[in-house]
Structure 1
């Protein structure tokens, strides 16, 4: 699904945020991405969801070198990737239901065809009674859960999550972990960037660890 070979990245003319990164994610795998604040976790995710280009090295998605993909094809690659952002990126004028179902609507489906599926997913993440609310009325934890629901609603080939449990309590963290595990069981490749060592320990999945922009651990499950 994903392969990095000697990948480095910088913002503008600044120093390299990532240096000589190499790893691969097999189809259907589940990894955590760990490291201190500033280690480069969010930058690495940006390279995968095509928000930024590597300054050198090779990045492959779905077997394709992203540097050789025509610009017109990039949106189709992005649609295969679900992303949970730290800053949520919800549309404030849309209801909880419409935010969660937005990827399906963009794909051309009508609300009547996905209403039950979206309602079930919102129930699972604890927002079943907030379907008609606007994002401005939600707590930080509720916004986080809504962002996760939107990212997984169309069962993407790859799910990237940047600190997805950072604004929820331990019980909800475990519930969300079960959601990620179930999505993975259905075939989605999952990569979760997190500081939550307890979550990592409970999941027992392989860990990619960054230190100062370098990948120092591509080891086994902890």
Structure 2
């Protein structure tokens, strides 16, 4: 893409008639960029991600995604845009009746790929996130950290154009958090635009990546992690 992959212009958002949780947000992401968005609980990080993956609509302002005004996208076309976005949710959203392998493979199955074309890739990815011995386990038997890693594997398996992650290291130890960060960095090197919402100040500092900071629903600062 010649221009930004994502652009916010004067965007605000509220839930129902409640006060705005996001106010006059303006920023853009270039293709292949990597950013963190930081802020205290309630600052609006999750709401910002919801706007990007089309789970919510802004109350005012303009959002362009893949050079398209999202308000002008027909309902029938929205699922196709969503398929270009990988999302790691805080609540995981795993399908309880599917194994770890099948949960991870779900985006590829939806895209119409045949199992023989991705079986080896899924096994390798699950091994990379530490789930090699849990491929056939159901989500109910996984720990919180294992569910987190499975959710990350599912989000990145299709190599999305944009990867959004909402507190992706919230249930893992420091060593695994760094390993997950390296996975995101590697995916970014392959061309995926990455935006991670996190309050893990140490992880952000270690990353050395650009940072947006949200405070009381507003973008108040633009900086960079320390790259320790």
Q: TM-score, normalized by length of structure 1?
A: 0.99
Query: How big is each residue's C-alpha offset from its partner over 1:142-192, in whole Å with a ceiling of 9 and x where there is no partner?
Result: 000000000000000000000000000000001000000000000000000
Q: Hey, what's the Cα distance between the residues in 1 that align with 2:82 and 2:170?
A: 24
**2:141 paired with 1:124:** no
**1:68-87 alignment runs, 5 A limit:** 68-87=72-91
Shift of 1:219: 2.9
**2:20 paired with 1:16:** yes
Q: Hey, what's the Cα distance between the residues in 1 that align with 2:193 and 2:208?
A: 16
Are 1:161 and 1:193, in contact at CA under 8 Å, matched by a contact in 2?
yes
CA RMSD of aligned residues (A): 0.7
- Determine the structure 2 residue equivalent to 1:212: 216
Q: TM-score, normalized by length of structure 2?
A: 0.96
**1:24-35 alignment runs, 5 A limit:** 24-35=28-39
The counterpart of 2:42, out of the listed 33, 38, 45, is: 38
**1:1-222 alignment runs, 5 A limit:** 1-222=5-226
Query: How big is each residue's C-alpha offset from its partner over 1:71-96, in whole Å with a ceiling of 9 and x where there is no partner?
Result: 11101100000000000000000000
Structure 2 unaligned residues grouped into runs of 5+:
none
Segments ≥4 residues shifted beyond 2 Å: 218-222
What secondary structure sits across from 2:21 in the alignment?
strand
Q: Paired residues, what number?
A: 222
Q: Hey, what's the Cα distance between the residues in 1 that align with 2:212 and 2:18?
A: 25
Are 1:23 and 1:218, in contact at CA under 8 Å, matched by a contact in 2?
no
